[in-house]
């Protein structure tokens, strides 16, 4: 491992996993079966299981690492090898920008998930956003042989795709604080988001539920420190 790789592992990767595991754990419904798509080394899923003993996680990836922290099944990067509505939650943690066709995987995830999709990814908004994200991606993933198409979308593009797929944005935040200061001034900004998506048709069954339209939204829709926890059977409201 290069010196830059060691620095990234020690000061970035570990903190990122801890922060994301805490944030994602609070968004999962009770007793959920989670499919972690593109799970990598599985450390994030391991930490989620440590936070939430009621949760079961299955990992799939196009590159199966021998040192993975969870059992990982290979898949072709396009079709999820699971039946319709066979898991509760499909998780994409910094995965979709590594694909040339994120929409296809989102469609697959919607098919497989009973409850929701949870996405952690990037928004290419702001000065030098694309260059900054590409540098972060290269440092964190190039040495693992991960595909780097640098396929970053703006927030507007994300929300447009969600609408086209009839996915309801139940939660959105960009206040993740993945990096300590002063690095956060460059690498956090509004470059990251977490979203929780459900099926629009499911949301519309409740007359009090409002489907969010595609528009520029505030950085947070809820308190990022304490995302709402959902019980099984809850209907999500905007």
pLDDT of residue 142: 59
pLDDT of residue 200: 65
Distance, first Cα to last Cα, the chain: 46
- Between 46 and 216, whose confidence is greater? 46
Parallel, antiparallel, or unpaired for β 87-93 and 113-122?
parallel
* CATH numbers and ranges of domains, the chain: 3-204 (3.40.50.150)
- Between 145 and 78, whose confidence is greater? 78
Per-residue model confidence as pLDDT tens digits over 62-86: 999 999 999 999 999 999 999 999 9
| Continuous H helices in the chain | 3-8, 14-25, 43-51, 102-112, 129-141, 155-164, 183-187, 200-204
Report d(CA 24, CA 196) in Å as an integer. 10
Report d(CA 23, CA 216) in Å as an integer. 23
Q: How confident is the model at residue 185 (pLDDT cuts 50, 70, 90)?
A: low
pTM comes to: 0.79
pLDDT of residue 202: 57
Helix 155-164 × helix 102-112 angle, to 10°: 50
Measured at the CA of 77, the angle between CA 141 and CA 94, to 5 degrees, comes to: 40
Length of the chain (residues): 238
CB 159 within 8 Å of CB 215: yes
- Between 172 and 221, whose confidence is greater? 172
Residues 6+ apart with CB under 8 A from 38: 60, 61, 62, 92, 93, 94, 95, 98
CA-CA-CA-CA torsion sign (28, 112, 233, 165): positive
Model confidence at 183: pLDDT above 50: yes
């Amino acid at each position: 491992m290069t010196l830059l790789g060691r620095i990234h592992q020690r000061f970035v990767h570990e903190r990122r996993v801890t922060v994301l595991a805490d944030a994602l754990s609070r968004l999962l419904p009770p007793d959920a079966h989670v499919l972690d798509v593109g799970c990598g080394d599985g450390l994030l899923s391991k930490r989620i299981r440590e936070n939430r003993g009621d949760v079961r996680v299955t990992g799939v990836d196009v590159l199966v690492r021998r040192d993975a922290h969870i059992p990982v099944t290979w898949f072709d990067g396009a079709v999820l090898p699971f039946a319709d509505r066979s898991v509760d939650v499909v998780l994409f943690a910094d995965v979709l920008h590594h694909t040339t066709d994120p929409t296809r995987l989102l469609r697959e995830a919607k098919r497989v998930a009973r409850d929701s999709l949870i996405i952690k990814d990037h928004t290419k908004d702001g000065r030098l956003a694309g260059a900054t994200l590409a540098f972060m991606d290269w440092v964190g993933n190039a040495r693992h042989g991960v595909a780097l198409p640098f396929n970053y979308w703006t927030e507007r593009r994300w929300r447009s795709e969600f609408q086209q797929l009839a996915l309801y944005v139940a939660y959105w935040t960009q206040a993740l604080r993945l990096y300590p200061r002063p690095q956060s001034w460059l690498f956090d900004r509004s470059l990251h988001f977490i979203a929780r998506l459900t099926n629009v048709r499911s949301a519309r069954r409740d007359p009090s539920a409002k489907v969010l339209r595609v528009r520029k939204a505030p950085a947070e829709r809820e308190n990022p420190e304490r995302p709402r926890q959902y019980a099984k059977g809850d209907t999500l409201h905007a």
